[in-house]
Structure 1
């Protein structure tokens, strides 16, 4: 299983918390690890719930863990983990695969913690505003990229062709998207092909389209990047990164000072690829 850098840090923090308490990594330690990871949505969760760490630590002290539970080894942990923690990670991996992603991230982990119906975990999260926690960490988030000082990066040579889509590409692109991602994006793609200057870039190899990215197509909103997708068999090759920057480069040329990435799933990808920042949630109270 592949992990994002942030999720690996969360697992390491979880081990640190387990080392000083139960000596075995339980799901509550994963949640404490999220709170210790003070970046992006994890930092936002900490800010919105400044007393959540204390609440969880107090519950760890109060709950009677099975003293006979020795746990078992599970990579990439160095401490043993509980069976429930394994169930959390398996559920998180299944969630990752469901969304056709290739890296396990913090959102998958937090979602799985609350979905695994375990007695100890239920006792730990009892009374917490689970829906808000999930809204902050696990649901897709809007991000923003400043284009004021943006510069188009250089790319290594490859056998992949990146170019603007033409009207003749409409049918094959829609077929590709429906096969790889379903039909949820087809209306937005149609909006793109209705424009005189089609704001869609496609990636091609010898056998046809293997990826695409666009902007100004979702609900015909200006300055909104996406959707973007690469065929599952061609992930982790830099194709998405290249398509993203072709779009951002053109948005910069048009005159946009910012690009909004709507409902981004792999947050860390955009943070690293183009210094995108998550747009904070606004809540009426702070529990």
Structure 2
């Protein structure tokens, strides 16, 4: 299992909470760890549920934890976790693989916590409407990047070619997108290929497309970045980072002051790569 940096911070928060009560990490400690995190969607969650952390802490004082729980030692925590918590991690990992993601993030984690249907967690959250919690943390979110002072970072690469797509790339590009991501993005890619100046960049190695990124193609909306995708076998190699910045540079050159990243999946990637921030729900 691989975890995002924010998820690892959540784990540390959860351990601190468990240290105060049980010395074994329960699913409720993971929720408390999420509520202590103040970045990304977790920060927005705190704004929507400002009193939830204190409410759960008060309820924990009235809970009789299972003294028979011996816990399981894992490589992801310094202290033991309950069997249910371990099941949460396994469920999150399975969802990660199903959606062809690389890291377990807070969205996968919160969904797994509620899917495991733990009785103690349900009792602790009695009266709390949890569907907005899942939506805030696990739904694809729009993000925004300021391009006013943007400058492209160094994108040197030894054997990878990043270039604008040309019409001759059409068949290979569409075949790549469909094979890696299904047909959901094909209409947007086709929109881009119909433009005289195609707003699509491709990453090529040894004559093979490994990734792509677009802008101004989803419903032909101007200033909208995406979709972007890298072959699952070539993730975490910086390909998406380079494709992203090639697009952002051109968007700035066109004159856009902001770029909106539509339905961004890996929020943490964009936060670190280009200082993108989540657009609050309802805006």
TM-score for both structures, normalised by structure 1: 0.96
Match of 2:145 in 1: 145
Distance in 2, Cα, partners of 1:58 & 1:91:
28
Q: Which moved more, 1:141-150 or 1:67-76?
A: 67-76
Cα separation, 1, equivalents of 2:60 and 2:37 = 19
RMSD of Structure 2 on Structure 1 (CA)? 1.1
- The gaps in structure 2 that reach 5 residues or longer are none
Structure 1 segments (4+ residues) deviating >4 Å? none
Q: Which moved more, 1:193-202 or 1:123-132?
A: 123-132
Counterpart in the other structure of 1:99: 99
Specify every segment of 5 or more residues in structure 1 that has no aligned partner in the other structure, as ranges. Answer: none
Provide Cα deviations, 1:88-144, integer angstroms capped at 9, x if missing partner. 111111111122111111111111111112222221223221111111111111000
Aligned to 1:26: 26
Q: Kindly state the Cα deviation for residue 81 of structure 1 after the two structures are TM-superposed.
A: 0.1
Q: For each residue in 1:64-107, what CA deviation from the matched residue of structure 2 results, as whole angstroms up to 9, or x when unmatched?
A: 22111010101220110001101111111111112211111111
SS of the aligned residue for 2:175 comes to: helix
CA distance in 1, matches of 2:131, 2:260: 25
Could you report, residue by residue, the CA deviation over 1:180-209 in whole angstroms, capped at 9, with x for unpaired residues? Answer: 011100010011011111100000111411
> Alpha-carbon deviation of 1:63?
2.6
Q: Which residue number in structure 2 is paired with residue 173 of structure 1?
A: 173
1:68-79 alignment, distance < 5 Å: 68-79=68-79
Between the aligned partners of 2:114 and 2:71, the Cα distance in structure 1 is 21
> Structure 1 CA distance, aligned partners of 2:55 and 2:216?
44
Q: What number of residue pairs does the alignment pair up?
A: 283
- Structure-1 residue corresponding to 2:280: 280
| CA–CA distance in structure 1, aligned partners of residues 263 and 127 of structure 2 | 28
Q: How far apart are the structure 2 equivalents of 1:270 and 1:183?
A: 24
Which residues of 2 match residues 205-284 of structure 1 at below 5 A?
205-282=205-282
Measure, in 1, the Cα distance between the counterparts of 2:192 and 2:155.
26
Give yes or no for the alignment of 1:185 onto 2:185: yes
